[in-house]
Each structure stands twice: as C-alpha cells, then as structure tokens.
A = this chain, B = another copy of it.
Amino acid sequence: MMIIRQLLPILMLAGTFTSGRAQETDDASRIRSLFNEALTSYEAYHNLEWLCKNTAGRICGRPQAAAAVEFTRQVMEKMDLDSVWLQPVMVKSWDRGEPEIARIVSQKFGSADVPSCALGWAVGTGRDGLSGTVVEVKDQDSWKKMTRKEVEGKIVFFNQPMRQTQTATFSAYGEAGWQRTNGPSEAARLGAAGVVIRSLSIEIDDYPHTGITRYAADVKKIPAIAISTRASETLSSWLKQDPTLNFYFRTTCLEGPEVPSHNVIGEIRGTEFPDQIITVGGHLDAWDISEGAHDDGGGCIQSIEMLRLFQKTGVKPRHTIRAVMFMDEEVAQRGGQAYALEASKKGEKHIAALESDRGVFRPKSMGVGGNAEQMKKLAQWQPLFDPYDIHLVSGGGGVDISPLKNYYPGILFMGIIPDDERYFRVHHATSDTFEQVDRREMQMGSAAIASLIYLFDKYGL
C-alpha cells in the first residue's frame, strides 16, 4: 500500500452550497450514526447469506420462493415493526427440467459440448432434442434485413456481444438485450426451428446466463437457449470455416400452472403522517440457476436493513416507511403490479418509492427523479453525503415500483446507483453467489438508502 494525500476532488471545489437547515449538525450526526451502525453490523450480511444459501434458485413459482417469503417475513417479524404482512400475488411457474445439453457438431472440428441454459419460460425441445444448421446474427441491423429464406428451418444464433467498451454497463445490457427478450419470437416469425443466444455477459467466460424471453402471441414458441460467451466465440469461429456445421440442443423445460405467492411487507408507522407512505424495496425472486445475491437478494436485505438502522439509531420517521420484497420481478412483475393496485384500492397515499436492483456494490450515487426545484433542494443535501463519497444525481425508478406511477402520478421515484463494473459478470448466472458480495459495500448502500429516506422524510423535496 502507499501513502497518499487524498484531497477533495477538484470538481468538488467548484461546487459551493449555501448553508441550509439540512446541513445542521444534527443531520450530519444522524447520518453518521446510520453509516456507523451499518458498517459495524453483520446482521444484514448474515441474513443475505442465509437467503442465498437456503433459498437459491427462488424464481417465482418454485418452493424456494416460498421459503424466501417465509424467511424475510420471519426476519421482519422479529424486528418489532409496526406491521409485517404478506400480500398475495398469483405468479407464473416454469421448470427447467433436466440439465440442458448443447453441442456443436462439426465435420471439420469435431464435436463439442458447450455450457448452456434454457432461457426463462422458453419451451423445451422435447426429449429428442433439436438439431440443425446455424445462421449467425452479429447485430440488430443485419438481423432486420434477414429474410425467411435465410432463416427457415434453421437454428438462429444471436451473437451480438454486450459491448465491453461501454463503460455504462447497464447501457451495454440494454443494447444487447433484444436478442434474449425478442430474439426467439422474431426468429420464429421467419420460420426458425430454434434459437441460441450469446449469454448477456460483459465477460468472456464459461457461465451461461439465463433470463426471461417473451414469445409474441402470434408466433410459434420455439426452443431457445443461451450459451456461454466463450462458447459463442468458438461457435462463431467454427462457423467461419464450416458454415454447414450442426448445432444440437436438448431442453426439457416446461411452463406450469399459475401458483400463489406473496410480496413481503414490513413497515414503521409515521409519527406525523402515518397515512403517507414511502416504499423502499427489492425483488425477492431470483433466477433458478443462481443464489440471487446481487440480483436481488441484496436489494431486499438493504430494504429491511434500512428499517433496522432507523430503529437502532432512534429515527422515528414522520411518514410511514415500508420495506417491500417484491415477488416476480424477473418474469411478469406481478408483485409490483399487485402492490400498486392494492395500494390504490385501499386508498393509500404513496409519496415516494425507491428500488434497489442494480447489485449491492459500492454505492456511487443516489438518484432522485425530481423537477428542477426539487433537484435544487436535493443539492443542498450533498454536503451530508460528501463524507461517504456519494453523489446526489438525477434519476430513479425501477420496474417494481413503476406501477405506482399509474395510481400516484405525483409520486417521487428514487434510486441507488452502485458501481456497475462487476454486475454483468454474475447477472442471471450461477456465479451470482453470496461470496460475490462484500459486506462493507452492501452496507454503504443500506446506509445511503436510509440517509436519503431520513432526509426526505424529515424535509420533503
């Protein structure tokens, strides 16, 4: 290690903030307490470990999801909150079936089995598997120009990489995501027999990454798998020299019936405005091949931890603060929809919501989706976050809280933006394990969430 004088970033020197009530010593010391408690406690981290190791593969509809519901309910039940309850949600179910087989069969190079996994909610090939020649697609533009003649009866290999040079990795994911969500439907429309996609991973390695695919209503559902990025490189390079090679894959996945599940909700009732609700949540479901540590067990645990931090440091919120474990983010967002619908039916008043679903890495920024005036007010809170090297920025939202907007147009969305360098290495893969989570990083996030909610609850925006 080296000794370095680390002064304030030059940029920060350019920013001056007039003193305001939010900068009172009281707030700084409150926030200090939230961070101190978060950084010295192991409870949340141990809860995440339990969730990862005992409810791995908790995609909606599976028994593991029920275990995750019951575990988080029990965790919150022990916390002496004002209320803890389960909110019923009907969810889809699907079973991956037997381990997938994916094989490149080339007269020139030989035969190679490659790491693969069926896309979520894909149909299976049947027990005999599916075999065919391959047509490779390297980007969306060239795909749009393809004709039925080029595709019919073939296996379409969507091989547009997530751009490693895109430093905003969520954008890289967004750019390449069409292959998984829409690729199978679009290929079916042109008569393809099956689809193989390059895993949506930012790294070249041997992990296949799953995730939902959405079949359009008007096309035949065709089988679809992801293969690892390294296998995709191999397949692509073999195809160059052996364009008529065969690809074989076998999946026995099958959609099941809808089954009952739940959102899990815990709340601290507000002292002054108990009818005004602030929601903080993550999603409890996680892909069936993963422990769902970063996606999104960590986000759930951070939400619960926010409530514990308030309790432990003596914060008595003026508004009602809820931690919500949403069920079924990964498939059909039934949990988020049910939460918003029931809120509306009950006549609840929702004033703000924050979702943590970008991994529990070191927080870089906290986002608020406010108007110009709100952002100006927010900027006055920046000095309170400077000691933790966290920026207050414009932004916020998430798929589980977004249905609230339908019923509460004025609701303020917030968000936590952790460092995103590592997320898409583990996202939706077996590598998303508890061991990939650093306690301090996750807890910096818990404290950052608690701090922003503390200030919003106290001063509004």
- Please list the residues of chain A having a beta carbon within 8 angstroms of any beta carbon in chain B: 1-12, 14-16, 35-36, 39-40, 42, 164-165, 167-168, 170, 173-174, 202-204, 295, 355, 357-358, 362, 364-365, 367, 369, 375, 378-379, 382, 387-389, 391-400, 415, 417, 419, 421-423, 425, 427, 438-441, 444
Contacts and interface: CB of A to CB of B under 8 A. Distances in A.
Given A4-B415, A11-B12, A422-B438, 18 more contacts: A1-B173, A4-B417, A5-B367, A6-B393, A7-B393, A7-B394, A9-B393, A10-B393, A11-B14, A11-B15, A11-B382, A11-B391, A14-B16, A40-B164, A40-B165, A419-B419, A421-B438, A421-B444
A375 B36 CA distance: 34
A173 to B, nearest CB: 7
A5 B203 CA distance: 24
Contact of A2 (B14, B203, B357): B357
Given A14-B14, A393-B9, A422-B438, A2 B358 contact: yes
A393 B8 contact: yes
B7 A395 contact: yes
A203 B6 contact: no
B167 A391 contact: no
A104 to B, nearest CB: 22
A444 B8 CA distance: 21
Contact of A3 (B2, B387, B398, B438): B398
Contact of A395 (B5, B202, B393): B5
Given A10-B394, A425-B438, A441-B421, A367 B40 contact: no
A317 B342 CA distance: 65
Contact of A1 (B391, B396, B427): B427
Contacts of A389: 167, 364
Nearest to A294: B1
B1 A170 contact: yes
A2 B415 contact: yes
B397 A2 contact: yes
The CB with the most chain B CB atoms within 10 A, among A387, A427, A440, is that of A440
Given A164-B39, A422-B441, A399 B3 contact: yes
B392 A10 contact: yes
A242 to B, nearest CB: 25
Nearest to A367: B4
Given A165-B35, A425-B438, A438-B421, A1 B358 contact: yes
Nearest to A428: B1
A202 B358 CA distance: 25
Contacts of A14: 11, 14-16
